[in-house]
Amino acid sequence: MNFVQPEVLAGGVVIVIDAIRASTTMCTALANGARAIVPVLTAKDARATKARLGDEVLLGGERGGVRIEGFDLDNSPRSYTSDRIRGRTIIFTTSNGTAGLLHAKRAQRVLVGSLVNVDAVARAVAHDERPVHILCCGTRNEVSLDDCLPAGAMVEKLVRAGRNTTADDSASLVLHAWRDASRDVRAAFAESRGGRNMVRIGLGQDVDICASLDSVPIAPEFHVQAGAISAS
C-alpha cells in the first residue's frame, strides 16, 4: 500500500505478488516442471539473455496482455503446460510483475506469491525470523485489488502462525479486505481492474485460474545472485 523504497527491504524477506497474472503463471510453470525462470525488465533484455544462455531457453511474457513478437510463450498460466516447458529455463518479462521482483532484489530472500500458493508461501516464511514484507506490484503505480487480496490471505495465515503483523496498517487493511472478499474471491478478482482488463481481451478464463486459492503447492524462490527463480 505504501510505495516502498528498495532499501527498506534490505535484510528482510519479500513476497512479490502480481496475481493477475505474472505470479500465477510463474507458479504454474514451476509446478509443471520448468527448471527455472529468469525475470528481466524488457523484451530486449530477454532476447539478449537468450543469446547468452542458448537456444534451449524459452522466451515468455507479455506487453498489453498479449505475447511479445518472437516470444515462445505469452503470460497465460494455461500456456505453461508440462509438455511445453518441462526441464526448460524460461526468460520472462511482464509489464509489472518482473519489475516488482527486481525491485526486491536487495532483500535477503525473495519469494513469488499469488492466490494460488498462499498456503505454500505462508509456510515457507512463517518461521523465518527476519521481517517479512509483502510487495504488491499493482499496475502503473496504482494499487491492484487482485494483489492485495492474496496479501491479506497471507497475513491471515501469518497471524495464525503467531507472527506479529501490526507493524503497519497496510497489513490490517488487506486482512480486513480479504476476510470480506474471500466469501467470493472469484467475483472479487473479476471486479478488479486487472480482471476486467483480462475479460475485455477475451482472457476471462485466466482470471478464474488466478483466483483459485491454494491450487499450486509451491513457493517459488528468486535467487537474486543467480538471477533465477526456482521451485525453491
Contact 80, 37 (CB under 8 A): no
Indicate whether 146 belongs to the interface with its own copies (CB under 8 A): yes
- How far out from the chain centre does Cα 27 lie? 8
CB 34 to its own copies: min, Å: 30
Question: What is the identity of the amino acid at 42?
Answer: T
144: nearest Cα among 195, 68, 107, 219: 195
Indicate whether 193 belongs to the interface with its own copies (CB under 8 A): yes
CB 12 to its own copies: min, Å: 16
d(CA 28, CA 54): 23
Indicate whether 145 belongs to the interface with its own copies (CB under 8 A): yes
Residue whose grid cell is 525475470: 39
Among 68, 188, 198, 216, binds its own copies (CB under 8 A): 188
Among 56, 180, 208, 214, binds its own copies (CB under 8 A): 180
Q: State which residue, 131 or 227, has the beta carbon closest to its own copies.
A: 131
Among 2, 7, 55, 69, binds its own copies (CB under 8 A): 2
Among 174, 190, 203, 211, binds its own copies (CB under 8 A): 174
52: left (phi over 0), alpha (psi -120 to 50) or beta: alpha
| 145-160 helix and 118-126 helix, angle to the nearest 10 degrees | 50
State which of positions 25-54 bind its own copies (CB under 8 A). Answer: none
Among 28, 89, 93, 144, binds its own copies (CB under 8 A): 144
Indicate whether 173 belongs to the interface with its own copies (CB under 8 A): yes
Q: What are phi and psi of 178, to 5 degrees?
A: -60, -45
- How far out from the chain centre does Cα 142 lie? 16
Indicate whether 181 belongs to the interface with its own copies (CB under 8 A): yes
Contact 133, 9 (CB under 8 A): yes
Indicate whether 164 belongs to the interface with its own copies (CB under 8 A): no
Positions that interact with its own copies (CB under 8 A): 1-3, 141-146, 148, 166, 168-170, 172-174, 176-181, 188, 191-194, 196
